[in-house]
């Protein structure tokens, strides 16, 4: 037992040191820090939505239709962000809607990462026919404009939030496959790979234990950026009526609902739109910070 | 150069077969009978149904349907719309100029603002301008484009009343459209004010569509400039006593051009592939709106062939970008990738 701790302790402290230096680098980027703060608050709101939201997101208060927000003339503290055309409380809908953003982002990047990494590694380790098949398949997906492809896929699967997420994951996967393959290929030529091959490591071990960890940095950055693109695309599909279906308070769907009132009651589309913008912006800022911290060569904010 | 081209073209063949297969599969993986779905709730009399089944070839075995379809495409026959009964290719050719016109102006806007901003940010690295520009461009990059388009409408059309809300030209004008480009056609017509009308219809969609590319170009040209500005030949040029402007623009920017052209080229493909959201919101009669409408109208022959036509455009544009590199940078030719 004492031997075990002796071995793991330096490992742990090395991990801690790496984390500390990562945090030090990440902190340097003010934008990334603000982004992280915003997203953390939003995450707390999403987790505790049931307790924070003053009303139910789908209950209709018919006596107060299209009530303006509290800062506008005619607004009321009872409904801080006002109510929509069906008399539902905007604030409660916004709070519950934040859940969809995380749900969409996490599910989409989960699929992208797992499928993208597996296909990318297979392509990198099997030069020739298999590699060609995988990469050509990815080329085919990339030949179609992504939102159009996603829209067509949802048309096949049927409009729903889950199908929209599947469609978005499908159009994002090629980027992950290409990135994984390119990273893995550049690692494959290095000494540590050939030496562990000589030691008799299996292909699986080479793929997932030796090579993959060294490919992760750009993949994490890509995943962060895809998280935000997924939110944008899901909102776009919701806006076109092909994503989350009413009455779910997904922000893109809320925008679609408010579209006919853009000139008479602009706050109805202002609030969900701003929410999408700030969420996506924050995640992109975090992505920039991660890039700086994980890959000092690619620094964007200060070179 | 020739072998480089040939290699590029050969890689395209399996991709292209895959594209036709994907588009072909579209109509067949939709659950239910395609004819009945397209007919909708009105339903169809038995004879008409059989006639359509035969006309669209759905009564054939599936491999034969595919081969027939590819055979027709190779002869330039992309099928007929289920709704308008017009050849899909005719509709595409009619609508494509509108998309090209919008794309050109969106890119114009994006390049004209994005690239100079990126260069200035790189030169004044770390300044307030640099920081605010990077934040603004990241915001542009994070913008839900359909919302941005609506904001533009609210402000410029609703609040200021400067621009029309939708379409390509005011309905009061009637003239021939030989080129399909509304700006050119309206100039050539004798109608007074037609050109102004066409231009004012174009501005908002072009800004909405150009925003994300603008942000991308600004970021890309900034980082490309930062990289070249740290090269030795820039130091040499500075040491020689060349003017700062000359150093930045002639020595720096020319060499930063390749990554910038890459992103421009890639966005041309994306934009031409149909600015689905922008075209839908502004009712811009281009191929993006055409595809969305067809998907909603369940006009599957249009969706199927439209996907192939759009993918063809994207591939051709990306191929031209590739070839352009080969010309600019001979090193790329050698590597082959």
Task: For residue A156, tell me if it sits in a domain.
Answer: yes
A130 touches chain B (CB under 8 A): no
pLDDT of residue A234: 92
DSSP string of B258-323?
A: HHHHHHHHHHHHHHHT--HHHHHHTT--SHHHHHHHHHHTT-HHHHHHHHHHHHHHHHHHHHHHHH
pLDDT of residue A24: 82
User: Looking at CA atoms only, how far is residue B96 from chain A in angstroms?
Assistant: 15
**Element containing residue A203 per DSSP (H, E):** helix A203-205
The shortest CB-CB distance from B310 to any of A148, A239, A272 is to: A148
Range of the domain at A290: 27-295
Residues B147, A228: C-beta atoms closer than 8 Å: no
A145 touches chain B (CB under 8 A): yes
Topology (CATH) of B88-301: MetI-like fold (1.10.3720)
Q: A with B: how many residue pairs have Cβ under 8 Å apart?
A: 123
pLDDT of residue A9: 62
Of B10, B131, B142, B165, which to mutate for an interface test with A (greatest number of A Cβ within 10 Å)?
B142
User: Looking at CA atoms only, how far is residue A206 from chain B in angstroms?
Assistant: 26
Query: What total number of domains does chain A contain?
Result: 1
Token pair in block for residue B158: 């609703």
Residues B276, A288: C-beta atoms closer than 8 Å: no
User: Which single residue is written with the structure tokens 């939505």?
Assistant: A49
The shortest CB-CB distance from B15 to any of A136, A240, A273 is to: A136
pLDDT of residue A297: 55
Cβ neighbours of residue B324 under 8 Å, at least 6 residues apart? Answer: B261, B265
Task: Please state whether B76 falls in left (phi above 0), alpha (psi between -120 and 50) or beta.
Answer: left
Nearest to B281 by CA among A157, A21, A239: A239
A297 touches chain B (CB under 8 A): no
Task: For residue A3, tell me if it sits in a domain.
Answer: no
pLDDT tens for chain B, residues 1 to 337: 678 788 878 888 888 899 999 888 887 777 777 777 777 666 677 777 788 777 777 778 888 888 888 888 888 888 888 888 899 999 999 999 999 999 999 999 999 999 999 988 988 888 888 888 888 888 888 989 889 998 888 888 878 878 787 777 776 677 777 777 777 777 777 777 777 778 888 889 999 999 989 998 998 888 888 888 877 888 788 888 777 777 777 777 777 777 788 788 878 877 876 588 899 989 888 999 999 999 888 888 899 999 999 998 888 888 888 787 777 766 666 554 4
Show the CA angle centred on residue A140, arms to residues A135 and A142, nearest 5°.
90
Of A148, A182, A284, A292, which to mutate for an interface test with B (greatest number of B Cβ within 10 Å)?
A148
Nearest residue of A to residue B314 by CA position? Answer: A143
pLDDT of residue A301: 42
Task: For residue A301, tell me if it sits in a domain.
Answer: no
Show the CA angle centred on residue B147, arms to residues A275 and B138, nearest 5°.
65
Has the ipTM of the complex gone over 0.90? no
Name residue A210's beta-bridge partners.
Answer: none
Nearest residue of B to residue A147 by CA position? Answer: B276
Residue B150 CA neighbour count, 13 Å, CB half? 29
User: Looking at CA atoms only, how far is residue B100 from chain A in angstroms?
Assistant: 15
Residues B315, A143: C-beta atoms closer than 8 Å: yes
Residues B303, A152: C-beta atoms closer than 8 Å: yes
User: Which single residue is written with the structure tokens 């994907």?
Assistant: B22
pLDDT of residue A54: 85
Residues B144, A255: C-beta atoms closer than 8 Å: yes
Residues A240, B125: C-beta atoms closer than 8 Å: no
Name residue A205's beta-bridge partners.
Answer: none
A230 touches chain B (CB under 8 A): no
pLDDT tens for chain A, residues 1 to 303: 444 445 556 667 877 888 888 888 888 888 889 999 999 999 999 999 888 888 888 888 877 777 788 787 777 787 888 888 888 888 889 999 999 999 999 999 999 999 999 999 999 998 889 999 999 899 899 888 889 999 999 988 888 999 999 999 999 999 999 999 998 988 888 888 888 888 888 888 888 888 888 888 889 989 999 999 999 999 999 988 888 888 888 998 888 888 888 888 888 888 999 999 999 999 999 988 888 888 655 544 443
Nearest to B318 by CA among B276, B258, B263: B263
pLDDT of residue A163: 93
pLDDT of residue B1: 67
Task: For residue A88, tell me if it sits in a domain.
Answer: yes
Per-residue pLDDT of A130-170, as tens digits, reads: 999 999 899 899 888 889 999 999 988 888 999 999 999 99
Q: How do the residues of chain B divide into helix, strand and coil, expressed in percent and rounded to 5?
A: 75, 0, 25
Task: For residue A303, tell me if it sits in a domain.
Answer: no
Task: For residue A4, tell me if it sits in a domain.
Answer: no
DSSP one-letter code for A67? P
Determine the number of helices (DSSP H) and then strands (DSSP E) in chain A: 12, 0
A139 touches chain B (CB under 8 A): yes
Report yes or no: A100 and A112 within 8 Å, Cβ to Cβ. no
Query: For position A227, which CATH number holds?
Result: 1.10.3720.10
User: Which single residue is written with the structure tokens 């994005």?
Assistant: B114
Tell me whether residue B226 is exposed, middle or buried, using C-beta atoms within 10 angstroms of its C-beta: 0 to 12, 13 to 18, 19 or more: buried
pLDDT of residue B20: 92
Instruction: Find chain A residues with C-beta within 8 A of B219's C-beta.
Output: 300
Task: For residue A12, tell me if it sits in a domain.
Answer: no
Report yes or no: B147 and B251 within 8 Å, Cβ to Cβ. no
Q: What is the pTM of this model?
A: 0.86
A259 touches chain B (CB under 8 A): yes
Residues B134, A144: C-beta atoms closer than 8 Å: no
What are the boundaries of each domain within chain B? 35-77, 88-301
pLDDT of residue A1: 42
Per the document, the length of chain B is 337
The shortest CB-CB distance from B277 to any of A152, A236, A302 is to: A236
Nearest to B303 by CA among B317, B316, B293, B313: B293
């Amino acid at each position: 037992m004492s031997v075990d701790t002796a071995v793991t302790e330096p490992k742990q402290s090395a991990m801690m040191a790496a984390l500390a230096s990562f945090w030090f680098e990440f902190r340097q980027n003010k934008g990334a820090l603000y982004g992280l703060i915003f997203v953390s608050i939003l995450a707390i709101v999403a987790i505790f939505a049931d307790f924070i939201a003053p009303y139910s997101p789908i209950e209709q208060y018919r006596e107060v239709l299209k009530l303006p927000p509290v800062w506008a003339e005619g607004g009321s503290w009872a409904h801080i962000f006002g109510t929509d055309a069906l008399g539902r409380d905007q604030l409660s809908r916004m709070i519950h809607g934040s859940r969809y953003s995380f749900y969409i982002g996490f599910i989409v990047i989960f699929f992208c990462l797992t499928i993208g990494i597996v296909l990318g590694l297979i392509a990198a380790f099997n030069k020739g026919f298999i590699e060609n098949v995988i990469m050509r398949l990815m080329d085919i997906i990339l030949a179609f404009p992504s939102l159009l492809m996603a829209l067509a896929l949802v048309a096949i699967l049927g409009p729903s939030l889950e199908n929209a997420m599947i469609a978005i994951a499908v159009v994002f996967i090629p980027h992950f496959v290409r990135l994984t393959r390119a990273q893995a290929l550049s690692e494959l030529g290095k000494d540590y790979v050939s030496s562990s091959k000589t030691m008799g490591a299996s292909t699986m071990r080479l793929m997932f234990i030796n090579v993959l960890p060294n490919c992760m940095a750009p993949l994490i950055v890509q995943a962060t950026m895809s998280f935000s693109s997924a939110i944008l695309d899901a909102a776009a599909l919701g806006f076109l009526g092909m994503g989350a279906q009413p009455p779910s308070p997904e922000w893109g769907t809320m925008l679609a609902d408010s579209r006919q009132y853009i000139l008479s009651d602009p706050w109805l589309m202002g609030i969900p739109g701003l929410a999408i913008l700030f969420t996506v912006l924050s995640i992109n800022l975090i992505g920039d910070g991660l890039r700086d911290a994980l890959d000092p060569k690619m620094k964007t904010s200060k070179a | 150069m020739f072998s480089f081209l040939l290699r590029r073209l050969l890689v395209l063949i399996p991709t292209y077969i895959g594209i036709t297969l994907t588009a072909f599969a579209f109509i067949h993986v939709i659950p239910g009978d395609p004819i009945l779905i397209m007919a909708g709730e009105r339903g169809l009399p038995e004879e008409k149904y059989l006639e359509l089944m035969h006309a669209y070839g759905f009564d054939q075995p599936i491999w034969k349907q595919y081969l027939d379809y590819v055979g027709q495409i190779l002869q330039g026959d992309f099928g007929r719309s289920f709704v308008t009964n017009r050849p899909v290719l005719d509709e595409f050719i009619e609508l494509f100029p509108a998309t090209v016109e919008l794309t050109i102006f969106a890119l114009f806007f994006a390049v004209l603002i994005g690239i100079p901003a990126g260069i200035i940010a790189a030169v004044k690295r770390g300044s307030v301008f640099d920081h605010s520009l990077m934040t603004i461009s990241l915001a542009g990059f994070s913008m839900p484009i359909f919302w941005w388009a609506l904001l533009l409408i609210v402000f410029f059309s609703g609040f200021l009343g400067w621009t029309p809300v939708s379409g390509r030209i005011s309905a009061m004008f009637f003239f021939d459209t030989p080129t399909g480009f509304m700006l050119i056609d309206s100039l050539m017509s004798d109608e007074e004010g037609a050109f102004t009308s066409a231009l004012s219809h174009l501005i908002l969609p072009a800004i909405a569509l150009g925003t994300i590319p603008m942000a991308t170009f600004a970021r890309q040209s900034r980082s490309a400039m930062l990289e070249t500005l740290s090269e030795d030949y820039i130091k040499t040029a500075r040491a020689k006593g060349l003017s700062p402007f000359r150093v930045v623009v002639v020595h720096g920017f020319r060499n930063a051009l390749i990554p910038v052209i890459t992103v421009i080229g890639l966005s041309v493909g994306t934009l031409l592939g149909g600015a689905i959201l922008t075209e839908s919101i502004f009712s811009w009669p281009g191929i993006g709106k055409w595809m969305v409408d067809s998907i909603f109208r369940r006009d599957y022959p249009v969706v199927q062939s439209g996907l192939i036509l759009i993918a063809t455009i994207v591939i051709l544009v990306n191929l031209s970008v590739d070839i352009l590199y080969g010309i600019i940078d001979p090193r790329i030719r050698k590597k082959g990738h």
